[in-house]
Amino acid sequence: MKRHMAIWCITVGVVVSHPLMGTADDQEGIKHSVVKESQGGPVVHTAIYQPPRKGAPAPGLRRGGGTRGMNKSVPVISLLAPEHVGLTLHEQPVLYWFTPTKQDRTISFDFTLIGHNAETPLIETKLPFPAQAGLQEIKLSDYKVKLLAGERYLWSVSLIVDAEERSANVVAKGAIERVEREKLEHPLAANFSEAEAARRYAEAGVWYDAIMAITGRIQANPDNKDLREQLAAFLDQVGLSDVAKNDLMIRASN
C-alpha cells in the first residue's frame, strides 16, 4: 500500500493466486487517526490499517471480476479482503463480498473455503441469491466450520455464468488466517468500546475483525450516514472506489 494514499484506514482487495508468504510494504510509524465530527454524536476516529509484515500481496492480483461485454470499470463481484493474508481473532468470522447490481437469476454464486495446503475444501456450496445489490455476508457459523489458530485459508466467491464452461465464470479470492491475540505484531488494547472497535482492530492489523466491527455498526444503525461514509473511505483508500461509490449510491436510494 503506498504511503501517499494513507489518509483513511483500511486495505481492501482480492487475492487470486499464491504465494501467501512474503514481506508487506513497510508501515512502521503510521499509527495515527483522522478525527471527524459525527452527526449529533461523538467524535469519530478512523484509524490507519497496519497490515501484518508477513502478509504480502500475491502476484496475479485483481480487484474484482467482470464478464464479457460488461463495463470493466465496475466489478461484478468484489471481496472485502486485503491484498495479503488478512487476520482474524475469531473462529467463525463473517466474510463480506459486494455486487453493485441486482443480478439476473440465470446466474448463481458459489462459496468455497479451503485450507492453504489442503486438497479438499472445508466448504463448497451455493450461496443464497442476493436479495438486493450491495454488501453480502457469509457467516462461517452457518456452516459449522471453525478456523484453526495459525492456519491459513483461501476463500472465494464465484459468479457462475455457465456451469458447463468454467472460463466464462468470474472468481474472486481472498486469504484469511486466524491468530491469537498474544501473537499479533501490533498490540491490541484489552478493552475498548463498540464505537472504537473498528479503529482498534485496524491499528492491530486484524483486518477481518475491523470490517466486521464497522459493518456490524452499520447494520445496527442503517440510517447513520457517517458510518456508511467511514466504510466508503476504507474502500476508496485502497483503490476500491467503484465499490465505495456504488455502496453509497445503493444506500442513498433505499
Per-residue pLDDT band at 10 (split at 50, 70, 90):
very low
CB count in 10 Å sphere of residue 180: 9
100-103 contact pairs (CB < 8 A, 24+): 100/74, 100/75, 100/76, 100/133, 100/134, 100/242, 100/243, 100/246, 100/250, 101/76, 101/133, 102/130, 102/132, 102/133, 103/76, 103/129, 103/130, 103/133, 103/159
* Residue 87 pLDDT greater than 50, yes or no: yes
- Mean pLDDT is lowest, of 50-54, 127-131, 138-142, for 50-54
Q: Which three cell numbers stand for residue 85?
A: 493474508
In this structure, the number of other CB atoms found within 10 A of the CB of residue 155 comes to 24
Q: Distance between CA atoms of 5 and 141, rounded to whole angstroms?
A: 35
Question: What is the structure's pLDDT at 60?
Answer: 37
Alpha carbon distance 19, 98 (integer Å): 24
User: Could you tell me which residue, 25 or 122, shows the higher pLDDT?
Assistant: 122
Q: According to DSSP H, which parts of the chain are helical?
A: 197-203, 207-220, 225-237, 241-253
More confident of the two residues 158 and 67:
158
| Residue 122, C-alpha cell as written in the block | 472445508
Residue 104 is predicted with a pLDDT of: 74
Highest mean pLDDT among 3-7, 78-82, 142-146 belongs to: 142-146
Q: What are phi and psi of 149, to 5 degrees?
A: -60, 135
Please answer whether residues 213 and 201 qualify as being in contact, where contact means their C-beta atoms are separated by less than 8 angstroms.
yes
Mean per-residue pLDDT, 167-189: 91
pLDDT-derived band at 209 (thresholds 50, 70, 90) equals very high
For 52-85, what is each residue's pLDDT tens digit? 886 555 433 344 555 434 444 445 788 988 888 9
Q: Which three cell numbers stand for residue 206?
A: 486484524
The model's pTM is 0.77
Residue boundaries of the structural domains of the chain: 3-243
- From CA 73, how far away is CA 7, in angstroms rounded? 24
Closest to 113 measured CA to CA, from 94, 130, 135: 94
Lowest-pLDDT choice from 30-39, 139-148, 212-221: 30-39
Torsion from C-alpha of 163, 106, 64, 113, nearest 10 degrees: -50
Q: Span 154-175, mean pLDDT?
A: 85
pLDDT of residue 84: 85
**Nearest-angstrom CA–CA distance, 110 and 108:** 7
Class for the domain spanning 3-243: mainly beta
Taking residue 207's Cβ as centre, other Cβ atoms within 10 Å add up to 30
pLDDT digits (tens, 9 = 90+) for 211-223: 999 899 999 998 8
